[in-house]
Structure 1
Amino acid sequence: MINQEILDLVKYHKIKLSEEEYNIYSKQIILEQIGTEGQKKLKETKILVVGAGGLGCPTMMYLAISGVGYIGIVDQDQIETSNLNRQILYNKSYIGKEKTSSAKSQLNNINENCKIITHVCKLSRENNVELISRYDIVIDTTDNFNTRHIIDTTCYKLHKIYIYGAVREFEGQIAVFNYKNGIRYKDLYKRELNKIQNTCNSRGIMGITTGYTGTLQAIEVIKIILGVNKKCKNFILSYNLIEMIVKKQLLYLTRTTKNKNYKKYILLSSTNTLNYSTSNIKLIIDLRDKKAFNIKHIEKSINIPIIKFKLKQTINFINKFKSVGEIMLYCNTKERSLIASKFLIKHSIKHEIKLYSNLTKNRNLKKSKTLLK
């Protein structure tokens, strides 16, 4: 069987960059992560942007100016005066015109070699497969829960990567869904939940928020195209631009005790990467076996049985929480706690030990799932 990397090399060898393109992209081609082959990958990739508004404009601008070869735009709206504070592809002369044709005109001014395909419609259950199947990566720049669930379901069926983004006032959220069998939008928001639709009209928004979020979405797309930082990213990145707080919410794969084949993602914790004044979060590790843990345990604690402490992945996982706050080990036997403590000391991970009986007096007890398998 021919190696896939060899096939990719043959494929990108056939793609040609013009002399003008070499001149335009010379400053990024010299980057180690890009090079000539990376620039060819960008030129070959087909991106679908669902929504040509506040998020879509900066996303499309940076993709086009980076040399992405094909950008499809799905939108059926016309430009209004109130759009101009954040939808930076448009100006007063475009008011009343279709967003798709206006965006195409502006993007062609940025990069005439980028093929812009317009779809003047709303993504629906009738056209979702036809539209999404033509592209490699789908970027969600909408503000509609139903549309997001359509994107999620369709990308899952067609094995397409889904780049999610959402904004509210000065807050934003991005995530990479359906990447290497990773998390999906439905793992974050269930379809059956009674969700309140937050729109720019009802909550207000500034261009700095949509610009920041759209830029982050474009960055994730480029990283995926180039194969930079290939590790599956099962997390949601949330931030507040006023407070300068960034949180990474991890979602870890677990299994139910009833059906071992049923996979489920659960939200684990938030890591504050900018505002260290809130670094008082504790990681509480329950060392008992899974059966005892499921019967009764401290709320928000996680179960890592003592037998797992000899695994490298366990230490790597705990090591990520060094800067988060106090790491606590607890168990109903001192022996197990001391054994686990020795592993953490060996890897210079600060922690403390508490016995189970000393902690359960003033804490809520709940059922949950083992996180490390």
Structure 2
Amino acid sequence: MLNPNLQEIELDKEEFQRYSRHIILPEVGLDGQKRLKAASVLCIGTGGLGSPLLLYLAAAGIGCIGIVDFDIVDSSNLQRQIIHGISWIGKPKIQSAKDRILQINPYCQVNLYETHLSSENALEILKSYDVVIDGTDNFPTRYLTNDACVLLNKPNIYGSIFRFEGQATVFNYQGGPNYRDLYPEPPPPGMVPSCAEGGVLGVLCGIIGTIQATEAIKIVLGAENTLSGRLLLYNAWDMKFRELTLRPNPERPLIDKLIDYEQFCGIPQAQAVEAQEKTTIPEITVKELKDLINYGTNTFVLIDVRNVNEYEIAKIPGSILVPLPDIEDGRGVEKIRILSQNKKVIAHCKTGVRSAKALGILKEKGILGSNVKGGITAWSKEVDPDIPQY
């Protein structure tokens, strides 16, 4: 409720004490704190961005917080998804987030939507909230969130992170631009590596997520100097901020309905290509690979196409590192050609996706090979549990 009847909203004695540092700010005051209590904010995702922003929204006194997520807590999340803890591993993230929010502020109402946000449910979920915060990490959900906010006329607070770099802005607010003004079309599938493939500095999530929470609070308070029309760029490694001006594109297509965003982002097409590649590239299981290694045969060469840092975390005995980017630019192809003279090539990565791509490139160059199904993750689960999973 961005324009609540403030006379109907009251704070009790404990709330005055809890929010006193806010209330003494001239820019917030008692009326501003009442606005925060009356407001409803929906966060899509409880990962790296959602974790810190949810903590600060709760601490700020947002009266109603909605959370959309369907994932479970994994140990690999804890380095950056600070709302979760060890005791919640294997359990739903939204339940973990709610528990932590209520520990910070029992005055918050927390609504949970343990579901995949889709074109079928997005409008129904978003319609009752004042502000929407995009804490997702995939393009279909980003475009879906944007379009639903445009149709419902909701401000959409955007953030993204990768390695050491982050972005934040406010979309669809007071006539400002939306996500399609910044990115009219999604990149080809696989063109932008995920954080699972490229990595991310944990504290970067906290910085960008906290900026998103700040913008949500400012919008509720009616502040004029939001990030609408401004894209904030942050490089944690260089400790530098930059800002780009964003404007609505008068030629952008009209958003008048929700569409199939998986199709729009080319996911089914990419999956079809991947499936076709799998049918043309032989696979072996990790147990079959283990047998080959145990036999001590010199008939194959095992190529690891992950990056150097992944190789340092965990490796299969006898594997030779040739990163996928080296294969893509041709240098790795020649190296593998030399290594594989009179030998069969067997390739692996983390889960088998990148190695399948590498083998497709090698096949075009006349080098045939087999892919390790499930990659080193399957090796850790089925062959050697001492190999770390990441």
The verdict on a shared fold, with TM-score over 0.5 as the criterion, is yes
CA contact (8 A) 1:182 1:232 kept: no
- Tell me how far apart the structure 2 counterparts of residues 192 and 225 of structure 1 sit (CA, whole Å): 30
Counterpart of 2:121 (choices 98, 108, 127) is: 127
Counterpart check, 1:198 vs 2:217: no
CA contact (8 A) 2:178 2:248 kept: no
- The structure with the greater share of residues assigned to strand is 1
The residue number in structure 2 matching 1:225 is 220
- Tell me how far apart the structure 2 counterparts of residues 28 and 175 of structure 1 sit (CA, whole Å): 24
Cα distance change on mapping 1:53 and 1:149 into 2, 3 Å: same
- Tell me how far apart the structure 2 counterparts of residues 98 and 147 of structure 1 sit (CA, whole Å): 19
**1:179-232 deviation line (CA, Å, top 9, x unaligned):** 111101011112354253432211111221000000000011111111123567
For structure 2, the residue ranges without an aligned partner over 5 or more in a row are 254-390
The alignment partner of 2:116 has SS state of coil
Counterpart of 1:15 (choices 9, 14, 24) is: 9
Q: Which amino acid aligns with 2:42?
A: L
The residue number in structure 1 matching 2:266 is none
Counterpart check, 1:36 vs 2:30: yes
The alignment partner of 1:252 has SS state of coil
Paired residues for 1:77-226 under 5 Å = 77-191=71-185, 193-194=187-188, 196-226=191-221
Counterpart of 2:230 (choices 217, 226, 235) is: 235
CA contact (8 A) 1:74 1:119 kept: yes
The count of residues paired between Structure 1 and Structure 2 equals 251
Paired residues for 1:252-263 under 5 Å = 252-253=247-248, 262=251
**1:312-335 deviation line (CA, Å, top 9, x unaligned):** xxxxxxxxxxxxxxxxxxxxxxxx
Runs of 4+ in structure 1 deviating by more than 4 angstroms, as ranges, are none
Cα distance change on mapping 1:192 and 1:202 into 2, 3 Å: closer
Counterpart of 2:64 (choices 70, 74, 90) is: 70
Paired residues for 1:185-334 under 5 Å = 185-191=179-185, 193-194=187-188, 196-230=191-225, 233-253=228-248, 262=251
Shift of 1:141: 0.5
- Tell me how far apart the structure 2 counterparts of residues 198 and 183 of structure 1 sit (CA, whole Å): 26
Cα distance change on mapping 1:217 and 1:192 into 2, 3 Å: closer
- Tell me how far apart the structure 1 counterparts of residues 206 and 165 of structure 2 sit (CA, whole Å): 12
Cα distance change on mapping 1:197 and 1:132 into 2, 3 Å: farther
CA contact (8 A) 2:153 2:172 kept: yes
- Tell me how far apart the structure 2 counterparts of residues 206 and 15 of structure 1 sit (CA, whole Å): 41
Cα distance change on mapping 1:241 and 1:198 into 2, 3 Å: same
- Tell me how far apart the structure 2 counterparts of residues 70 and 254 of structure 1 sit (CA, whole Å): 34
Q: Which amino acid aligns with 1:181?
A: G
The alignment partner of 2:129 has SS state of coil
For structure 1, the residue ranges without an aligned partner over 5 or more in a row are 256-261, 265-373
- Tell me how far apart the structure 1 counterparts of residues 9 and 68 of structure 2 sit (CA, whole Å): 27
| TM-score with structure 1 setting the length | 0.65
- Tell me how far apart the structure 2 counterparts of residues 67 and 135 of structure 1 sit (CA, whole Å): 15
The residue number in structure 2 matching 1:306 is none
**1:64-89 deviation line (CA, Å, top 9, x unaligned):** 00100011000000000100001111
| TM-score with structure 2 setting the length | 0.62
CA contact (8 A) 1:179 1:232 kept: no
Q: Which amino acid aligns with 1:89?
A: I
Shift of 1:45: 0.5
